[in-house]
A and B are shown apart, each in its own frame.
Chain A
Amino acid sequence: NAGVTQTPKFQVLKTGQSMTLQCAQDMNHEYMSWYRQDPGMGLRLIHYSVGAGITDQGEVPNGYNVSRSTTEDFPLRLLSAAPSQTSVYFCASSYPGLIYEQYFGPGTRLTVT
């Protein structure tokens, strides 16, 4: 099992550019989510999905878009990159339920100049 994979690992964008962060999992998890991690702020939820075709907003959704066409994939799109989106992005997946821990990808470090 590869677990949760994310690509790319590092990315530098110019302000206004768009890009897609890829996330895939091979554990047949229904739940997938995207977090951003900034110093002193912990992990903040951007968007999440409870199954294929179903997505919802988290705490900090502005400037990001998601879709979930398959159980395995959950890409995060930056529509028009801004310096405030410089962060480390984590994708996570889990089974549905209170008791299940999140499985995290290795993260993508994004810098917007």
Chain B
Amino acid sequence: AQKITQTQPGMFVQEKEAVTLDCTYDTSDQSYGLFWYKQPSSGEMIFLIYQGSYDEQNATEGRYSLNFQKARKSANLVISASQLGDSAMYFCAMSGPGPSSGGSYIPTFGRGTSLIVHP
């Protein structure tokens, strides 16, 4: 079974500084996908970034990058130059093998990290 662990319930960062949100995962599958989502106080879920298990380069999307360390089974989100609008809950998720391997592609989510950006 897949498992996602986010050990930081809350994080604080100063505006314009970088912050790393931790995510570790557990799976015996070779093929999987890793995702990060943002949930602002308004409640909607916003997709941020994706990393495939076979991707050798870390994914980047603007100020977001995913620090993927496969051997350590970690997929940390790095937000550079934090902005006040980055204050939100952040969820790490993993999609597993599909029906041909006895699973589905439906992702498992971690418990989330609450990020507060201070001015």
Residues in A lying within 8 Å of B, measured CB to CB: 31, 33, 35, 40-45, 48, 50, 56, 58, 88, 90, 92, 94, 96-104, 106-107
B12 on the A face (CB < 8 A): no
Q: What are 11 contact pairs spanning A and B, CB under 8 A?
A: A31-B105, A31-B106, A40-B111, A43-B93, A48-B104, A48-B106, A90-B45, A94-B105, A96-B105, A97-B98, A100-B95
CB distance from A92 to the nearest CB of B (A): 8
B40 on the A face (CB < 8 A): no
The CA of A100 and the CA of B96, in the complex, are separated in Å by 11
Say whether B44 contacts A101, CB under 8 Å: no
Whose C-beta in chain A lies nearest to the C-beta of B47? A101
Residues of B near A104 (CB, < 8 A) are 44-45
Residues of B near A56 (CB, < 8 A) are 104
The CA of A3 and the CA of B36, in the complex, are separated in Å by 20
Which listed residue, A44, A45, A98, A107, touches B33 by the CB 8 Å rule? A98
- B93-114 Cβ-contact flags toward A at 8 Å (1 or 0): 1011111000011111111100
Q: Do A98 and B109 form a contact, CB below 8 Å, given A42-B91, A43-B91, A106-B44?
A: no
The CA of A97 and the CA of B33, in the complex, are separated in Å by 9
